[in-house]
Structure 1
Amino acid sequence: MPSVMLKVFPREVSLTVWVWNLLYRINRSCTLVSDLKNFVVCLLENAGSFNLPFVGEAHAASCDTSQLTALDQLCHVCTANHIANRANTRQGRALVDTASKVFGYDDVCSLKSTLKHFHYPVVFGAVYGSLGLDLDTTLTAFMSGVIRTSVASAVRLDRIGPIEAQKIVTELQRLIPEIIHRNKTSSAADARVTFPLTDIMQNCHDKLFSKLFYS
């Protein structure tokens, strides 16, 4: 069965701002892990309520170029956060380039000339659908990527160690089926941000004096 490696950089830039915010908190060493878990849960909920509808519809329309173009445009309009917008389009382009070179499927290659913005959720759903992966596998892979890249960025920022990171990933993966169940039937028109605070924090990324991640 074909597989595609994925990274979700919007979560990394959001986590960078969270870390800087955490530095101003009292007794942060005692609350770091629990705060990180809560923050990643917020990211998961936002990914479920906003991204999964686009992933699901793009998966169903993987052979319909006009529908994919409309979804890409709708995602662009709905992504008012300029940091998320920039990260989504760059990562989407990277996924299309990689998938077209690795697999060479006509439906995947056609995305390069069909889409205008290349928003990551739309590209992700379209690529996985073109590769013949079922919807549940596609949605699970997307949500797993949210957890993995968020926690991995915390490791790179030296907030937690790799062993603690694996424990967090294992624990939070159990939330994925329930989040998918709640959002699986939502249409792209229903896409929304459930926890706006994380979106606001991410929107401040360009204002940081120093940062490890740039998307």
Structure 2
Amino acid sequence: MEPDLVETDKKRKRNVSIGSALQWSQWQLLDSILPTGGFAHSFGLEAAIQARLVSGPDDLKTFIIQLLDNTGSLLLPFVYSTTLNPTLDNWQNLNRILDATLTNEVGRKASVSQGSALMRVAAAAFTDVPSLKSMRDVSVGSGVVPFHHAPVFGLICGLVGMDSGTSQRAYMYVTMRDVISAATRLNLVGPLGASVLQHQIASVAEAMSKKWMDRPVEDACQTAPLLDTLQGCHGYLFSRLFCS
């Protein structure tokens, strides 16, 4: 083989090796075993059940679709912006904007709780991305910037080499996965039924992702204010299984 071709082949293999290594981190970010606390939250589903707005599989499907639409409109812009520009200043600024945008205390606390856990786990696990730990240390030291989940998720996606389209779909997937898991534990649907439901809603989730993808944070908005109200009522439930 000619020297130039040999060198080109070595570079290609090196790039493939780097890309393959990053993919393992990307997959781990979506793994349910990652201890980020997402399964401690029902996204308002538990309150919706007690308010008798969700009482069966059909209601559940409608709830999940509305939740995905609201997630896309409100949070995907923050995932998108941090994935494109995963720097400390941009991430902290987006955290402040989202903190001012979220309209109920239960949702705000849930976002910060999950974001803090995700950032802590990522900084400890992804040691090949040292900037994660340094960013976390600086932000924890300042004590003034909240760790909201959507910007943290986008930041990590950007630093592990995930493109913006994939990161936004991944965020929608994590949201869908977690709320269906909550529905299973609330006995709305069984494990097999949950898998069937997740597959059925996948096409809807893709449509919602395309609908709200690649938007600036200035376009972030609520599309389902009733869901926001329900989540805000979670703290008043007499008995509850989830944190939100």
Q: Normalized against structure 2, the TM-score is what?
A: 0.81
Shift of 1:111: 2.7
The one of 96, 101, 116 aligned to 1:93: 116
Partner residue of 2:50? 20
Partner residue of 1:35? 59
Q: Confirm or deny: 8 A CA contact 2:41 2:110 kept in the other structure.
A: no
Shift of 1:114: 4.2
Matched, 1:200 2:223: no
Partner residue of 2:173? 144
Q: Which has the larger radius of gyration?
A: 2
Matched, 1:119 2:143: no
Q: Separation in 1 of the partners of 2:222 and 2:43? A: 17
Q: Closer, same or farther in 2 for the Cα pair 1:161/1:11, shift >3 Å?
A: same
Q: Confirm or deny: 8 A CA contact 2:43 2:179 kept in the other structure.
A: no
Corresponding letter in the other structure for 2:150: P
Shift of 1:8: 4.0
Partner residue of 1:61? 85
Q: Closer, same or farther in 2 for the Cα pair 1:204/1:9, shift >3 Å?
A: farther
Q: Closer, same or farther in 2 for the Cα pair 1:114/1:122, shift >3 Å?
A: farther
Q: Separation in 2 of the partners of 1:173 and 1:159? A: 19
Partner residue of 1:72? 95
Q: Which runs of 5+ in 1 are unaligned?
A: none
Corresponding letter in the other structure for 2:60: L
Report the number of matched residues: 208
Structure 1 counterpart SS, 2:223: coil
Q: Separation in 1 of the partners of 2:148 and 2:134? A: 15
Q: Confirm or deny: 8 A CA contact 1:9 1:87 kept in the other structure.
A: no
Q: Confirm or deny: 8 A CA contact 1:11 1:43 kept in the other structure.
A: no
Give the stretch that moved more between structures: 108-117 or 141-150.
Answer: 108-117
Q: Separation in 1 of the partners of 2:72 and 2:40? A: 14
Q: Closer, same or farther in 2 for the Cα pair 1:120/1:9, shift >3 Å?
A: farther
Structure 2 counterpart SS, 1:67: helix
Partner residue of 1:211? 240
The one of 189, 195, 201 aligned to 1:166: 195
The one of 199, 204, 210 aligned to 1:175: 204
Partner residue of 2:104? 81
CA deviation digits over 1:43-94, x for unaligned, max 9?
00010000100000011111x2111111010000001210110000010010
CA deviation digits over 1:92-132, x for unaligned, max 9?
01001111111111221123134410000000000011011
- Which 4+ residue blocks in structure 1 deviate beyond 2 angstroms? 5-11
Q: Normalized against structure 1, the TM-score is what?
A: 0.91
Structure 1 counterpart SS, 2:75: helix
Shift of 1:139: 1.1
Q: Which runs of 5+ in 2 are unaligned?
A: 1-22, 140-144
Q: Closer, same or farther in 2 for the Cα pair 1:177/1:13, shift >3 Å?
A: closer
Cα RMSD of the aligned pairs, angstroms, is 1.8
